[in-house]
Amino acid sequence: MATRYASSFCFVILLCSAAAEAIDGGFSVELIPRDSPKSPFYDPLETPFQRVRKAVRRSIARIEGLRLNAAGVPSADLTNSGGEYLVNITIGTPPVQIVAIADTGSDLIWTQCKPCSSCFDQEAPLFDPRKSRTYAVVSCNSAKCQVYDQTSCSSRGSACQYQASYGDQSYTNGNIATDIVGLGSTSGRPIKFPGTVFGCGYDNAGTFDTHTSGIVGLGGGDSSLVSQIGRSSGGKFSYCLVPFFSTRKSSSKLSFGANARVAGRGTVSTPLVSKDPKTFYYLTLEGISINGKRFDASGSPGLGSGEGNIIIDSGTTLTLLPPDLYDQIEPAVAAAIRLPKAQDPSGYFNLCYRSSGVFKAAPRITVHFTGADVRLNWYNTFVEIEEGVTCFSFVPSSLDLAIYGNLAQVNFLIGYDFAGGKLSFKAADCTYH
């Protein structure tokens, strides 16, 4: 799992219990901003600016975890208030509710299990595989043991075991198993997926929150939930991220299959680039325009000249660029804004101004992907980090790859089409989706 930015701007996925077979017609589930009143993480005593400052600190922590993932080593930074998703699924027969972090930056599905030799504290009871009639341990000789690449044989025999470690020193170890994983949907029709491969963790520790009991990976690898429900999803999923400070509506939908179609006037598409590790969703960034002046990414050594030079991540708040490209666009942004500059108290943002509320001073910023020009609004590029201080949410990073974060994705319907090999953007008011 990639380290998570931005408690303030992450979203919670509530997927309820399931009792019927998956259908081919597609289905949708609810997306809830993590700090909205619907979320179990909601703290009514926190101000919006406290949430933003926490997000910035997690942004800094995320970098090393992603660097390890980019090198092909399983890693992640998990924090108890990071920019993660929560997924409420069921496992087993009879079904047991599991609340887990749902992560687009990792693949493995796992939960804490009884008997647990070393577990972090969680509020809900541990999953007990002995009480599930449909639970089965995967053997070392099974093809399902190869779905996740960090596996080995148990010391006592043929059981397939896994190990997963993360960038913040969190980890999980246990058995690879299969069971029925159940989801719900906003249509009210329950869905279940028999024979889903997951990790039953007996040795787990790190910066996990007591509200959760594991991770549900939504990345592009073979062991992720997205990959395992392939037929039911039709190789497609989409989401539309509601602005965090929306007063009209606090949730939207994560859709699969037929419900995930993104089309119509204003839709632009760019190729999904196949690269290792398969977990990440790679796009090709060709340039960024500020008030019509284009700065080509091809001249950035930090991005390289090949395809797939940036990943899109719904769990990362900020957009991270290599310093050489960022150093080109920052002066152009600064030249377009006639407001008093301010200092960022965290020392993380380079470009801040004295301004509150709607940031009308923001220049026109367009991100140019191959075949897709995405025109951003002010809230995609600026964030108020404390009262009266608004900062540019594109930041330089020494990371080996660039990241297109979720602030830049707000109020866009974004569709992932693996069969078609493309990712689509369509400007939308996500409070209506």
pLDDT tens per residue, range 354-363: 998 889 999 9
Question: Which range is least confidently modeled, 113-127, 151-165, 341-355?
Answer: 151-165
- Residue 19's pLDDT band, with cuts at 50, 70 and 90, is very low
Instruction: Provide mean pLDDT across the span 203-211.
Output: 85
- Residue 16's pLDDT band, with cuts at 50, 70 and 90, is very low
Percent of the chain with pLDDT over 90: 43
- Residue 320's pLDDT band, with cuts at 50, 70 and 90, is very high
Cβ neighbours of residue 209 closer than 8 Å, sequence gap 6 or more: 41, 80, 81
- Residue 316's pLDDT band, with cuts at 50, 70 and 90, is confident
pLDDT value, residue 248: 59
Question: Which range is least confidently modeled, 1-15, 79-93, 144-158?
Answer: 1-15
Phi, psi at residue 379, to the nearest 5°? -75, -10
State both tokens at 19: 């009792």
Question: Which range is least confidently modeled, 21-30, 126-135, 364-373?
Answer: 21-30
Residue from 176, 99, 180, 169 nearest 133 by CA: 180
Residue 57 clears pLDDT 90, i.e. is over it: no
Which residues are the active-site residues? 103, 313
Q: Look up residue 57 and give its amino acid.
A: R
pLDDT value, residue 421: 94
pLDDT value, residue 6: 32
Cβ neighbours of residue 200 closer than 8 Å, sequence gap 6 or more: 110, 111, 113, 127, 129, 137, 174, 175, 176, 177
Compute the distance between CA of residue 138 and CA of residue 161 in angstroms, rounded to an integer: 9
Rg (CA), the chain: 21
Q: Which domains does the chain have, with CATH numbers?
A: 11-240 (2.40.70.10), 262-432 (2.40.70.10)
State both tokens at 158: 């043929």
Residues 320/300, Cβ–Cβ less than 8 Å: no
Q: Decide which of 282 and 215 is more confident.
A: 282
- Residue 185's pLDDT band, with cuts at 50, 70 and 90, is low
pLDDT value, residue 17: 31
Instruction: Provide mean pLDDT across the span 260-266.
Output: 93
Question: What's the DSSP call for residue 345?
Answer: T
pLDDT value, residue 95: 93
Q: Decide which of 187 and 229 is more confident.
A: 229
Q: Decide which of 396 and 5 is more confident.
A: 396
pLDDT value, residue 289: 98
In the chain, the largest separation of any two C-alpha atoms, in whole Å, equals 69
Compute the distance between CA of residue 24 and CA of residue 17 in angstroms, rounded to an integer: 19
Compute the distance between CA of residue 87 and CA of residue 274 in angstroms, rounded to an integer: 27
- Per-residue model confidence as pLDDT tens digits over 66-76: 554 444 322 22
Residue 49 clears pLDDT 80, i.e. is over it: no
- Residue 245's pLDDT band, with cuts at 50, 70 and 90, is low
State the pTM of this model: 0.80
Compute the distance between CA of residue 277 and CA of residue 247 in angstroms, rounded to an integer: 39
Residue 77 clears pLDDT 60, i.e. is over it: no
- Average pLDDT over the chain, rounded to an integer: 80
pLDDT value, residue 244: 67
Q: Decide which of 219 and 342 is more confident.
A: 342
Percent of the chain with pLDDT over 70: 74
Q: Decide which of 189 and 177 is more confident.
A: 177
Instruction: Provide mean pLDDT across the span 376-380.
Output: 95
pLDDT value, residue 18: 32
Residue 341 clears pLDDT 60, i.e. is over it: yes
Residues 364/341, Cβ–Cβ less than 8 Å: no
Neighbour count for residue 428 (Cβ, 10 Å): 18
